[in-house]
Structure 1
Amino acid sequence: MKHHQSPFIETMVSRYQRAALVFLVLLSLVTVVVALSAVGDAMLRAAWPRLVGMLACLIGMLGLAWLTPLRVLKVWGQITLIGLELAAAVGAQVLYPTSLIDYIYLILILQGIVLFRPWLWSIIAVAAWVVWTLVRYQLSNDVIAWLQSNLVLAFPAICAIIAAFIYARHLRRREQIQQMLHQLQQRSAAFSTFLREAQQRVVLEERQRLMNLLASEVQQTLAYAERSITTALSAAQSNLQRLQTTLDTPRAAAATAMYRLRETLNILRAQPELDEQPARMALNNQLDETLIAPRPSYVLSWLLPALFVSLSLGLALLQPRPLSLTAMLWLVVLGGLLIIASAFTQYVRQGAFVQIGLATQALTITLMAAMTNLLPLLWGLLLVAWQMASRLSALQVLIFGALLPLLLFLISFWQSLNLDVLTVVSLTIAVILVGTPLLLARYQLRRRQQAEQQVHLLTTEMQQQAKEIQAITIAAERARLAREIHDDLGSKLVLMNLELQLATELAEEDPLAARDHLAHSREILRSAWQSLLTVVDADLPFPSTGLTQSVQQLVHQCAQSTRATVELTIQGEIDDVPPAVAHCIYRAVQEGLTNACKHARADTMVIDIKADDGYVVVTITNNDRSDRMSPKVDLGSGSFGLIGLRERVELLGGGMDAGPLPDGGWRLRLVIPFEAEDKS
């Protein structure tokens, strides 16, 4: 599905890196919140000069970020830009300290995670933390306060960093898949050339395979028939009286050749079986992927709540006024319950149980903050935000996002928990910094799965296309060979059989004429040998400029072998038609004459060929003398010849009809369009 974006968004995405743009927007939002908070605080303190300097640093930082897109910079340029932004944040913090500035440092670290490799962003993260913690210590000059600030920021920072790392991982994998899809689409554009080459290769391979089949199935019988005829001719030379008895062997050999030819045609006309692999259905299994791999998810389901509970205990111990024993027990008990509830929620899959687990965690965390009166413990709600962003739908996230503040204010009112605006704003920013990368990671995962699906479908389609082309090519080559064998070799075997029949009939009355027919049958058989090689090599049975002469020779050969009257009329320059059309005309005449001799035993045949106005019309008619005594030759299914002829005509864009005439006999008619060849 194609996503349409507004021109403004397209311009922004083209100017900035998509990933950098997300965190640039977050940086701007947090900076605006920091500035508004500082302005509100300055109105109470009347510290305007320092506020102006702080705002100048923040404006300079945003100006650098927006006016210098990271996309146009190389790696060291990007590092330098982040360093300048970090320096501006330090200046703002020194001039007007506020806890919200801590999140600016965190955003810069998250931006480095998305932009750089792990070893590089790790260095940047450590450097940013060192700078931040030194500034913090200089401002407070108190070790306990410095430790408390580290513990307060540690948990949201860890959650945000892990979320950003997950987002960066899915972003890079999606970019890899997108690049693969782009390359595959480019390959598919040139796939037609590959298919043509593959088609030619398949034709040659299939032709060679079928040649081996013909060599074993047909050529052996033709060789045996030729030896039989030669033996009969040798016997006739020495003793014409024995000619009648010696003709039985070549006639039996001719019958065997007919049988072999019939079997070969059945094999060629049979549809080959294709291997159909349901590759598309296997896609669903490949795309069943979660946001976080099973093993890291298992570790995080225990690590994050355990880390939060540990930091909470450390923060409680660092309070100037130690907590009571009851409060510490509540903290430990509720912390253990939180760990169990978090792990339970990670393991369940039903939506209702997930929501119950999230509600239990939110209630437990709020009670921990209320029972100990430690507002930083509310940062444990990031655990709930983490699971919401990674598991719930958009509607469920909105519902829980509306219920959590309500739950927070109810418990704070019940336990007299003093919630100030700064705490609520800080918690909201932390939730945004954790939830946004996870939501973006889910979006990238979904887009990557769509791209993987497109890659898989495109690959499968190309493979299927190649298989179909291969199957079609093989079927076309087999059909071509079947047509050529039936029309050429089959017709010659029919004529050879007729010659042998005439030789048998004349053996007693005119032995010399019988011997001539026997010799003519051998010439036809040798011609059949040559036609078989021609068929396999895909050559035309005649020169493209000699159609008229070739048709006349075909008519003469038929008339000589059958003693029938064959009339041929040619109107127009049929020698100017393209080779494929000439080939079809020749095969049509050959098929019409063969069928007239084989089925109707006709003694009168009329062939009319007319080429005019871009069309060739071939009409072949014959009378029906099926009661006349003549050999009936069987080539198997009588429809093979007409099927093959119809295939030839339709491939050329023409039409064909064949059927009996009202007054007896048969008519075969073809209409073929053509464009005359330019011989200049």
Structure 2
Amino acid sequence: MSVGPWHRRHPLAVDAALAICFALGDIALTLTGATWWPERPGPLAWTLLGLQALACLSLVARRRAPLTVVAVLGAFTLALTLLISPAHALTPANPGNVWAPFSTALAAYGPLFYGKNARNRRTAFLALGIFTLIVARAWEPSLTVITIGLLRTAVGPLLALYFDARRRLVCALTERAERAERERYLLAEQACAEERARLAGEMHDVVTHRVSLMVLQAGALRVTASDEATRRAAEELRAAGCQALEELRDLVGILRTAPEDDPTPSLDGFAALVAESTAAGVPVELAERGDRSLASPVVGRTAYRTVREALTNVHKHAPGARVTVEVEYDETRVRVAVRNTRPSGGPNSELVRTGSGLGIAGLRQRIELVHGSLRAGPEPDGGFCVEAVLPAFVPTAESMV
């Protein structure tokens, strides 16, 4: 389930509401004589009015089949026009009006905005050209009808072209910004790796030189010493120096090697945390809303640490409380909230002494590193709440794989 504005999550309901509104509006305009309605309507006029309503209701498919909607409204307008002239089966009260329903304006918007490729775009231009000729009744030249007909079928496509170009521009700028931010993070990681290698090299050069001199001097002392105790002490000093050199080589190798991936679980570890807390006697309810894939890996691990730290504090300070974990995924942010009710007992002193008291402070620093925010404090009902708001996407080298 994606998170976003209601009209984006329910496009079919929006299109159905628009289709009904336009159908009712066209019926009202027709009955008031703004289009083709005759002075003395007969069965044919009422039948055409019903067909017009059905044609307008085809707007419900304007996203999935925009050309079909144009074809339906165009066919109705053409049939109505032919019945009026040259068939003379219907005589409008105002012959100088545009006979096409006003729904044609919204129908003309769809083919260009919802077209998937260049081929569909060419077909859309051709269909809209024919549509314009039908609506404007080009075979019966009238300045008023042609002007209104052109406006009716041109405003929608022009708006569609504008919004489509704007959408493409926003997508391109967003992609460019994300790429630039990923490159910035990669450059920062590369600089850290180079600095780590430089420090490792300097440590190796400086410390190895001094320890090597100590080992050599201890070896010389072992050879030149006159008594056994001195020779034994010199040998122990030489062996310790050699061991220090080996450990230094191992340490330098670690510093020169890029750190491995963070083993901290991510978003899929929430269920395990909840199960562990429940097994330990602290009932926890987990509620997740939205799409997990919207959160980048580093955000997922930060959210996991937030929940883990909050549950740990509940175990220490709020025994007997009920806990609710809420995780909400949005296109721009991830919100994590851990709330507990008023505890039924006092804090566990043995568990409290095991902590450093810096859990929330360290968690706040970690969240601020990814440009998030943390709120931790008591609730009006006597409980406690830890709430973190994190950006949904934090670019790292891991997110580019």
Structure number with larger C-alpha Rg: 1
For the aligned pair, the TM-score class normalised by the smaller chain equals 0.3 to 0.5
